[in-house]
Amino acid sequence: MSTAGTARVEAVVDLDAIRHNVRHLAGLAAGAATMAVVKADGYGHGAVDVARAALDAGATWLGVCTVEEAGELRDAGITAPVLSWLHVPDEDLAPAVGRQVDLGVASRRDLAAAVTAAHATGRPARVHLKIDTGLSRNGCPPADWGDLLDAVADHPGEVEPVAVWTHLAHADAPAHPTIDRQAARFDEAHAAASARLDRPLLAHLANSAATLTRPDLHRDLVRPGIAVYGLDPTDDGVAPALRPAMTFRSRVALLKTVAAGEGVSYGHIWTTPTDRTLALVPAGYADGVPRLLGAAGRLEVAIGGVRRPVVGRVCMDQVMVDLGPAGEPHGVAEGDEVVLFGPDDGGPTAAEWAGLLGTIHYEIVTGVGGRPRVRRSLTGAAGQLTA
Ligand X SMILES: *Cc1c(COP(=O)(O)O)cnc(C)c1O
Binding-site positions read 137, 316
Cα distance between residue 14 and residue 2, in whole Å: 19
Nearest to 130 by CA among 112, 142, 115: 142
Closest-CB residue for ligand X? 225
Per-residue CA distances from 144 to 131, 147, 267, 327 (Å)? 9, 5, 55, 72
Count of residues engaged in binding ligand X, rule: CB under 6 A: 12
Which one, 227 or 378, has the nearer CB to ligand X? Answer: 227
Which one, 208 or 272, has the nearer CB to ligand X? Answer: 208
Q: Which of 39, 229, 285, 362 is catalytic?
A: 39
Active site residue 285: no
Region at 108 (left for phi over 0; alpha for psi -120 to 50; beta for the rest): alpha
Which one, 104 or 383, has the nearer CB to ligand X? Answer: 104
Which residues, other chains included, contact 333 with Cβ-Cβ below 8 Å and sequence gap of 6+? 252, 255
Which one, 134 or 224, has the nearer CB to ligand X? Answer: 224
**Residue 223, interface with ligand X (CB under 6 A)?**
yes
Interacting residues with ligand X between 163 and 182 (CB under 6 A) = 167
Active site residue 39: yes
**Residue 190, interface with ligand X (CB under 6 A)?**
no
Give, to the nearest 10 degrees, the angle between helix 142-153 and helix 108-121.
20
Q: Is 372 helix (H, G, I), strand (E, B) or coil?
A: coil
Shortest distance in whole angstroms from residue 118 CB to ligand X:
23
Shortest distance in whole angstroms from residue 238 CB to ligand X:
13
Pairing of strands 300-303, 306-311: antiparallel
**Residue 161, interface with ligand X (CB under 6 A)?**
no
* Distance of alpha carbon 73 from the chain centroid: 16
Shortest distance in whole angstroms from residue 205 CB to ligand X:
8
How many of the other CB atoms lie within 10 Å of CB of 305? 11
Among 225, 244, 284, 347, binds ligand X (CB under 6 A): 225
Cα distance between residue 324 and residue 330, in whole Å: 7
Q: What x-and-dash track marks residues 26-45 binding ligand X by CB under 6 A? A: -----------x-x------
Cα distance between residue 111 and residue 90, in whole Å: 11
**Residue 233, interface with ligand X (CB under 6 A)?**
yes
Q: Which of 130, 229, 256, 266 is catalytic?
A: 266
Annotated binding-site members for substrate: 137, 316
Among 21, 107, 133, 208, binds ligand X (CB under 6 A): 208
**Which residues lie near ligand X (CB under 6 A)?**
37, 39, 85, 167, 207-208, 223-227, 233
Which residues are identified as catalytic?
39, 266
